[in-house]
Amino acid sequence: MICIITLSRFSKTHQAFFYSEANEITGKVNTEVNKVSRYFNLVDANKELAAENARLKSQLKMNFVASDSSKLIVTDTLIKDTSNRYRKYSYLPALVVNNNVSSQSNFITLERGSKQGVKKDMGVIGPLGIIGKVVTVSENYSVVMSLLNRNSSVSAMFKKGDHQSGNVEWDGKDANYLTMKKVSKAVDVKKGDTIVTSNYSPSFPSLLMIGTVVEIRTDAQGDTYSLKLKSATNFFTLQYVNVILNHYYEEQNKLDSLTRKLQFNSGNE
C-alpha cells in the first residue's frame, strides 16, 4: 500500500493509471447505485407519467364538442378551447390499490374518491384500453366493476366502416378474452378486426380500444355471430388508470333514462 501511494504521488504515469482505474471503479459503483435509486423512484416516475398521460388524453379532439352558434351562452363552467369547442371529457389519474381477476365478479379499488372528483358510473381506462365503470365511491377511494365481471357490459362497435354495434361482456372463463354476441352476419367480420367503444355510452368517449377479434363462431340460431375478443387491457398488470369525467353525463343519462321509460310504456300499451 505504501509503495502504491508513493508511486501514485510521485510518478505522473502511475498517477494517471491509478486515477483511470479509480474512475472506472467509481463509475461502475455509481451505475449500480443509480440502478437501485431508479428502482425505488419508479413509484414517483409512474405517478408523473400517469399525470402526463391524463393531460395528453384530455387534449384529444374527441373530448370536445362544437358549440351551438344559434344560442347565446351567458355563463359557462366548462372548459372552452380557442376553436370555440367545449370540453366534454376530462381524465383523472388514479392509483390501483386492489385488483381481483380470479373470481366471476371481479372489482378494482382505486385511490381516488369523491373528494378527488370521482362519481358513480364514471368510466375507467388504462394505457391500452377500457377497464370498467365506477360502482361505489367513498371520500378517498372508489370501486370499479371490472370488464372481468359477469354483470359487466359495455356498448361497442367495429372500428372499421360498417360500425355494427353490440355489447361486449365476459364469459367468466379466461381473463384475457371477452365476448361480443349477436353480431349480424351481414357484417364482414375478420380475425384481427378492432372493437372499440360506441357512441351510445355516457360513461366512455367513442373509439376507445376494447379488444381485437380472435375467433368467429356462428350462434345456435344460425343468423348471427358470437365473437371472441383478445382484451386490449392486461388486467394482471394494472397500476395507474384514468377515470373519465363526462361533463354532460347528467343531461345525457337523464334523457337516456326517459327514452327507456317511454319505450317500456309503449310496449305495455
Question: Residue ranges per domain, the chain?
Answer: 2-40, 43-62+83-260
**pLDDT for 229-248, tens place per residue?**
999 999 998 888 999 998 88
CA distance 58 to 228: 31
Class level of CATH domain 43-62+83-260: mainly beta
**Considering the chain, what percentage of its residues have pLDDT values greater than 90?**
42
84 pLDDT higher than 90: no
Confidence of residue 107 (pLDDT cuts 50, 70, 90): very high
More confident residue, 179 or 261: 179
Which one-letter amino acid corresponds to residue 163? H
CA distance 127 to 27: 36
CA distance 187 to 190: 9
Q: Give the pLDDT of residue 244.
A: 93
Confidence of residue 44 (pLDDT cuts 50, 70, 90): low
31 pLDDT higher than 60: no
**pLDDT for 95-105, tens place per residue?**
999 999 999 99
For 133, phi then psi, to 5°, come to -125, 150
Question: Cβ(67)–Cβ(105) under 8 Å?
Answer: no
